Amino acid sequence: MVFRAKRTFALSAVAACAALVAAACGSSGSSGTSSTPTSSSVPKISASSFNLSFSAMKEIKSLAGKGKGNVAAILPDTVSSTRYVEFDAPYLKKSMELAGLKSSQIVIQNALGSDATEYSDAQADITKGATVLIMDPLDSGVGARIESYAKSHGVPVIDYDRLTLGGSRKYYVSFNNVEVGTLLGKGLVSCISSWHVSKPQVMVMRGAPTDNNATLFYQGYNAVLAPLFANKTYTDVANPAGTWDPPTALTEFQAAYTAHPNINAVLMPNDENGAPIIHYLQTKGIKAGTFPVTGQDATLTGLQNIISGYQCGTVYKPIYLEAQAATALAMYLRAGLTPPSSLVNGSATDVTTHVSVPSILEQPEWVTPSTVNSTVIKDGFVPASQLCAAPYAADCAKYGISG
């Protein structure tokens, strides 16, 4: 997180710019530092402008001609969630194209779970002309290194989805991650009640401890569950170390479940980690609607587990909103302009440096069987034809899922 530097102009340049205010005089140099928009011709959109039609991208298309260089985006992996390949990458590409960038000015990569790859990709992108970098760091260590390198080369960085602790990004784009955790906690509570779980014996599984998002999720669901543990309504049975790796999550669960076979509910941070655990429980004869498990990311498998009664719900994050928000920020930065205050609708605290980071924070949604059709199906996030394939056709019919 960098304090925003102000560009210093020579007096002659100031005079020239003053004379050209009506023509939107500004700077778009590769340093990526920002100037205040001085003309009504500069488009102004808000954080609420984004939708499934991507219409806001066309509103900022004029910015493409005001800047230079490429916009590069680096996504972290293909294991923690299928979202990065299936949705983030294509949504980012679509957003950038509709915002007026040529295909040669768009670079979208995946670090494939490697810190070394993520760092080398960033170096190569900047060497090849990236003037703005959108990055979802695998962890804050590599994120901070990338941001230090980018800063030394005058390239602003937008943290995407995860905040880099101790970093030097200019902006952060994500969902309200404490609210994600709150939805997980409330979803588990609702499910325990509606599934009539007697004397809830709860395992709380965390995401990777190196991921700041996992920490924020914990803040949300712990605020919901801690009072229930304190007053003995629920018993807090086990708290594995945490991971985003499904095989590791399964091993952690099996160890805890073997030691505590009375466990009858799990706060699970995402669908991918939950899927092998649900399958394991099925092999143990656990019936539908009896052992609540939560999830996140609205994956196909997660949604199928939901409609078949093995998962309470999932936190759905409409990624097309996040991709458009990141692209919008990148277009303003690439043009040397400060994004409008209507766009930057929040802030996030870097707990390492204690700096408030200007942010765009979108709102997540809790999806249950009764809301699948009005959320993920409506948005085209998961096709009904895939969700309702055998043996889930009857489950779809039960909840009126079609599309």
Are residues 308 and 198 part of one domain? yes
Are residues 235 and 96 part of one domain? no
Are residues 129 and 101 part of one domain? yes
- In a domain, residue 5? The reply is no
Amino acid 41: pLDDT: 72
Least confident of 20-29, 166-175, 223-232, 332-341: 20-29
- Distance, CA of 312 to CA of 296 (rounded, Å): 11
Are residues 154 and 37 part of one domain? yes
Amino acid 11: pLDDT: 32
Q: What is the 3-state secondary structure (H, E, C) of the chain?
A: CCCCCECCCCHHHHHHHHHCHHHCCCCCCCCCCEECCCCCCCCCCCCCCCCCCCHHHHHCHHHHHHCCCEEEEEECCCCCCCHHHHHHHHHHHHHHHHCCCCHHHEEEEECCCCHHHHHHHHHHHHHCCEEEEEECCCCHHHHHHHHHHHHHCCCCEEEECCCCCCCCCCEEEEECHHHHHHHHHHHHHHHHHHCCCCCCEEEECCCCCCCHHHHHHHHHHHHHHHHHHHCCCCEEEECCCCCCCHHHHHHHHHHHHHHCCCCCEEECCCHHHHHHHHHHHHHCCCCCCCCCECCECCCHHHHHHHHCCCCCCEEECCHHHHHHHHHHHHHHHHCCECCCCCCCCEEEEECCCCEEEEEEEECCEEECHHHCHHHHHCCCCCCHHHHCCCCCHHHHHHCCCCC
- In a domain, residue 1? The reply is no
Amino acid 79: pLDDT: 86
Residue 316 corresponds to which amino acid? Answer: Y
Q: What value does the mean pLDDT of the chain take?
A: 91
Amino acid 40: pLDDT: 56
pLDDT band at 402 (very low <50, low <70, confident <90, very high): confident
pLDDT digits (tens, 9 = 90+) for 99-112: 999 999 999 999 99
- In a domain, residue 403? The reply is no
Are residues 322 and 288 part of one domain? no
Count of domains for the chain: 2
Beta-bridge partner residues of 75: 110
- In a domain, residue 6? The reply is no
- In a domain, residue 3? The reply is no
Could you tell me what percent of the chain has a pLDDT over 90? 87
- Distance, CA of 289 to CA of 287 (rounded, Å): 6
Range of the domain at 333: 11-175+318-362
pTM: 0.83
The pLDDT of residue 318 is above 50: yes
Are residues 196 and 133 part of one domain? no
Amino acid 42: pLDDT: 84
Are residues 183 and 160 part of one domain? no
pLDDT band at 179 (very low <50, low <70, confident <90, very high): very high
pLDDT digits (tens, 9 = 90+) for 54-72: 999 999 999 999 999 999 9
The pLDDT of residue 22 is above 70: no
Are residues 151 and 23 part of one domain? yes
Are residues 149 and 78 part of one domain? yes
pLDDT band at 80 (very low <50, low <70, confident <90, very high): confident
Please report, for residues 12, 139, 285, 291, 299, the alpha-carbon distance to residue 280 in angstroms, rounded to integers and kept in the order given.
Answer: 71, 29, 9, 12, 18
Q: What are phi and psi of 95, to 5 degrees?
A: -60, -45
- Distance, CA of 314 to CA of 214 (rounded, Å): 16
Are residues 293 and 268 part of one domain? yes
CATH of the domain at 63: 3.40.50.2300
Are residues 261 and 375 part of one domain? yes
For residue 39, the tally of other CB atoms under 10 A from its CB is: 13
pLDDT digits (tens, 9 = 90+) for 326-385: 999 999 999 999 999 999 999 999 999 999 999 999 999 999 999 999 999 999 999 999
Dihedral of CA atoms 15, 17, 19, 20 in degrees, nearest 10, equals: 170
- In a domain, residue 394? The reply is yes
Are residues 186 and 94 part of one domain? no
